[in-house]
Amino acid sequence: MAEKNPPLIGVVPLVDEGRDSYWMLPGYFEGILEAGGAPVMLPLTDGPEVLARLVSSCDGILVTGGQDVSPELYGEQGADAVTLCGELCAARDKMESVLIPLAVRDDVPMLGICRGIQVINAVLGGTLWQDLPKQRPSEVEHHGLPPYEEPVHEVDVIPATPLAEAIGAGPYAVNSYHHQALRNLAPDLETMATAPDGVIEAVWRPESRFLWAVQWHPEFSRGVDEKSRKIFSAFIGAARGRALV
C-alpha cells in the first residue's frame, strides 16, 4: 500500500538549451517513488523568493546530473583561467547557486548526483577538476559507455560514514559517466568514498540533517543494484523525518 503522505521531493530539471526546454530522466523520479517519496520537477529559475517558497514546501531536494559546472562558481575565470569544460548551462548554475544555500539554511535533506556533487561542492566553497583526463590522468575509467547501469570502477566506502552505515564499508562497484570531479573539498563537506586513483566519489555535510552527494549514477543502476536503492531510501527516510516535524 502506498504511503498516505509521502515526502515531497523537488527535483532540479535537466536542461536542453538547443530545444529551449527542460525535462527529466525517469530514473530520478522512479528512484524517489520506489523509496516512498513524491517527486516533482522544479521550475528553472534563480528567483530567490520563488526558490525560497519551493524549498520551504519540499521535504527534500534532488540535485540532478547535467552539463559541466561553470568555473566562475569556484573562482576560475578571467583571461588566464584554464578552460577545459564541455557544455555549460548558465541557467542551472544561477538556479543552484541560490537553491543549494537555501536548502542548507533551512536544513532540507538534499541528495546530489554527478553534476549534483560537483555544483554542491562549488557553491559551498570547493573547486573542481575541469577535465580529469587532462588535469589528473589515471588508469581509472571515469567515463563509461552504455549500458549506463553497468559498473565501470570500484569506490572505497569509508568506514564510520553515513554511506557506510547505509550500504556497508569497503569496495563497491559503481557506474560512472563524468569528466569533471571534486578537486578541493568545500570546508563543510567530508568525504565518504573515493575511487582507486583518489578522486572523491561521495561526500556529506555533518552539520545537515541529510546532505549527501555521489559522483556515480544510482538513478541508472537502481534497477539492478540494491545499494543504489538504499541510497534513495536513506534520502527519502530523511525527507520523511522532516515532513513529520
In 3-state terms, what secondary structure has residue 213?
A: strand
Q: Choose, from 142, 153, 178, 217, the residue flagged as catalytic.
A: 217
- Quote the Cα angle for 192-195-197, to 5°: 130
Burial class (CB in 10 A: 0-12, 13-18, 19+), 105: exposed
Burial class (CB in 10 A: 0-12, 13-18, 19+), 49: exposed
For residue 168, the tally of other CB atoms under 10 A from its CB is 13
The residue assigned the cell 569528466 is 179
Q: Answer whether 192's CB lies under 8 Å from 204's CB.
A: yes
Strand partners, 173: 154
Check if 217 is active-site. yes
Check if 219 is active-site. yes
Q: How far is CA 19 from its chain centroid?
A: 24
Q: Choose, from 96, 114, 178, 201, the residue flagged as catalytic.
A: 114
In 3-state terms, what secondary structure has residue 112?
A: strand
Question: For residue 235, which of 64, 109, 55 has the smallest C-alpha distance?
Answer: 109
Check if 153 is active-site. no
Q: Which residues are catalytic?
A: 114, 217, 219
